[in-house]
Amino acid sequence: GAVVSQHPSWVICKSGTSVKIECRSLDFQATTMFWYRQFPKQSLMLMATSNEGSKATYEQGVEKDKFLINHASLTLSTLTVTSAHPEDSSFYICSWGGTPSDTQYFGPGTRLTVL
């Protein structure tokens, strides 16, 4: 149980394009989504928190117009990196909270490379 998927698992795009990352909970429903970003050899940094049907709350220093979060349902959330640039290249990880077991479940991550 508690399976989280992210799609795509990796993506390479050209600078200036937008990339959408999906995070799904496959066998449970949850109210809260956390999006993290991890640069090579660094820790996970929380970008934003969202609840279904509400606007996301962004951490300090994270541009809300650049990283669009759509929390569509209790099983699907998306992160769109708009007008991506090489400095946005990173490992993006989602995590579901507010789960029935009250445990937070992490996704497998999406590797974004912007050329």
Partner 1 sequence: GESVGLHLPTLSVQEGDNSIINCAYSNSASDYFIWYKQESGKGPQFIIDIRSNMDKRQGQRVTVLLNKTVKHLSLQIAATQPGDSAVYFCAEKNGYSSASKIIFGSGTRLSIRP
Contact criterion met (CB below 8 Å) for 79 and 23: yes
Which CB atom, from 16 or from 100, has the smaller least distance to partner 1? Answer: 100
**Euclidean distance between CA atoms 88 and 67, whole angstroms:** 10
Residues 15-54 close enough to bind partner 1 by CB under 8 A? 30-32, 34, 36-37, 39, 41-47, 49, 51
Contact region for partner 1 (CB under 8 A) — 12-20, 71-79, 80-88, 99-107? 99-107
Smallest separation, CB 16 to partner 1 (Å): 25
Beta-bridge partner residues of 58 = 48
